[in-house]
Amino acid sequence: MKTVFTTGEAAKICKVSQQTIIRCFDSGQLKGFRVPGSRFRRIPRDQLYAFMRDNGIPTDALDSGKRKILVVDDDESLVELIVDALTADGRFDIRSVNNGFGAGMLIKEFRPDLVVLDVMLPDINGKEVCNLVRSDATMDDVRIICISGMVEQEKIQELRDAGADEFMKKPFDVDQLVTRVCQLLDVESIGVK
């Protein structure tokens, strides 16, 4: 378990900008220390926990130390494949849902770091889910990987314009998806050749 965090790591955990963390550190709201002989700031786990609690920031990301991923697809066997691959990695807290309405509810409640989103859902299209996430400033750091069997370039561009970070065409290699998840969340990719 990690005991000391950089300002960048603390920002990701708190879902705020690194500048916000630096301002709180410099003003004394967030306690920590500077690395001797440098200007680097470090925040001990207990201080970060207290800061999060005092400011009403959910502490579950710090409690588990796992990055949160939401998988949204109506293809149950694909969801199972993706969830199994991410679970095997061991560093992710994963939830899944099979429709757009459930995705909207879970995004607000679960507050994932990354969403794997099927574009063609039975009740809503993926572009609308992207718009929902991007319309909430507190979710600016949420990464979105859209997945679909369609490959029309203008549709893919529309998804990117709506806020998708990545697009993967079905069928895809689930190991490649895990690698991409790791890259977008800035965590080291393990076990994938």
Backbone angles phi, psi at 70, to 5 degrees: -115, 125
Residue 110's pLDDT is: 87
pLDDT at position 193 is 39
Residue 138 carries which DSSP code? G
Decide if 95 contacts 162 (C-beta within 8 A): no
**Encoded tokens for 167:** 């697009």
For residue 117, pLDDT over 90 is answered with yes
Rounded Cα distance between 120 and 37, Å, is: 54
Of the listed ranges 59-63, 65-69, 77-81, 118-122, the least confidently predicted one is: 59-63
pTM of the model: 0.70
Average pLDDT on 88-98 reads 90
